[in-house]
Structure 1
Amino acid sequence: MQGASFVTDEKKDRVTVEINNRTYTIVGDEESSSHVRLVASLVDQKMKEIQGTNRHLDTANLAVLTALNTMNDYLKLKEDYATLLGSMKRKEDK
């Protein structure tokens, strides 16, 4: 089994997930196990989506493209959120 840990403290919760046909053990206490499974499922889904259009990618390149796509989505959402907050503030100031 492949292992990946975000935290090394032995008292932390462990959640086993599968991403891109590999098993990972995620260790931590900040999020619920259902949240960790959801995040892993979304990463797996994004990897499959990217791999579906780029069959020649090796795992490392697939992971980098997944990270880039995910961060791009995050930054767009963050920008949209800031715009929404600004719009709400302008309405409150009127």
Structure 2
Amino acid sequence: MGMLSKITKLRRNRKFEYNPRYYDDKGKGNPYKLEPKFDKFRSTLHNQRGLKNKISNAFDDTKREGDRNLKIRMLVILSVLILIFLYIIDFDLSIFFS
């Protein structure tokens, strides 16, 4: 039996210790959950009811300073689109100059 048990004996599974790249070992939640990373930047996440709260949230959003490069880029894109539109409709710009 001793020799036969070596052939028929099932092997144990080898251990494979896999840790994901962004796994937080300290127990701060699921490493695959992306919501908490972006929720702190959303102003509409904690929506409070009532007209007064909506208006105050809108004023707070306008007071928040944005990226200056984004504003300049948006202005350039908008002006180029307006000039293309005026060219398509054959708008005469000479009325502004004497």
Relative to the length of structure 1, the TM-score reads 0.29
Q: Greater strand percent: which structure? A: 1
Flag the structure with larger Rg: 2
Q: Greater helix percent: which structure? A: 1
Relative to the length of structure 2, the TM-score reads 0.28
